[in-house]
Amino acid sequence: MHRAALYRQLAPATWHGPGLSPANRGICLLILFASLVAVLETEPTLRRLAPKTFSILEMGLVTIFVLEYGLRLYAAGENPRYRGIVGRIRYVFTFWALVDLIAILPFFLGFLSFNNAFLLRLLRILRMLRLARLGRFSSAWSALADALSSRIHELLLSVGVAALLLLFSSACLYVVEAAGQPEAFGSVPRALWWSIATLTTVGYGDVTPVTTLGKLFAGLTAVAGIGIIAMPTGILAAAFSDAFQNKHKTPGEREWNDPTT
């Protein structure tokens, strides 16, 4: 295959058809499959059931990804910026090339033997970072980021209000509940756990106030939690509504979230 044809297959921006090229579509599916394998490998019952299968699958997938990395490096020469050895070194340090490299590395770290269970778990999880590679193929992310960044001031302000409410309700509960439940409300940082579960309306119920005054403050916190949900939702609804209407009025503009652009 010619290098130019390979380049068109691998670089999403150079593909003229709708969506992704066949090669990139295959790579996306492989990344999703590899992530699924990484998720399932963390389950001890599955590891015990088929101890060999996972290491064979892992080896096969990494071989493909190393091959893909090599082909990308070779095809990058089509772009004048990455021509020659100096250009290739420059390519290796581009954002997505680094992401590709980092996605391969955890496999090789696996040859080191870890006695620490925590590090072993961390290593297994690192394999899921492959999912980040999907970002290369998606222009939708940037459209989403545009919508969010247009209202970043308002969203940050509501985060600030939420943080103040969080601190304030933790402080109130600390003052009235610390005597009865020192483990859960013995300090403001400890009370934060209850406070965040209440303000986000998650409400685990593992820690709840028992005094009347504590329940009163908790009720006010829960009501404030509705505001904490309503504000960002309202801001996002307004931002999306704005974006949709701009699209209607100015059809010449860049399409919203169109994955082919």
- Min. distance of Cβ 206 from a second copy in angstroms? 5
- Grouping H, G, I as helix, E, B as strand and the rest as coil, residue 247 is helix
**Residue 59 or 230 having the CB closest to a second copy:** 230
- Min. distance of Cβ 152 from a second copy in angstroms? 10
**Residue 4 or 120 having the CB closest to a second copy:** 120
The end-to-end CA distance of the chain, in Å, is 26
- Min. distance of Cβ 11 from a second copy in angstroms? 23
How far apart are the C-alpha atoms of 60 and 68, rounded to whole Å?
Answer: 12
- Min. distance of Cβ 34 from a second copy in angstroms? 13
**Residue 107 or 174 having the CB closest to a second copy:** 174
**Residue 114 or 244 having the CB closest to a second copy:** 244
**Residue 71 or 147 having the CB closest to a second copy:** 147
| Residue 86 · residue 111 · CB < 8 Å | no
How far apart are the C-alpha atoms of 25 and 150, rounded to whole Å?
Answer: 31
- Min. distance of Cβ 40 from a second copy in angstroms? 7
Give the side-chain half-sphere CA count within 13 A for 63. 6
Label residues 81-102 b or e (16+ Cβ within 10 Å = b).
ebeeeeeeeebeeeeebebbee
How far apart are the C-alpha atoms of 226 and 212, rounded to whole Å?
Answer: 22
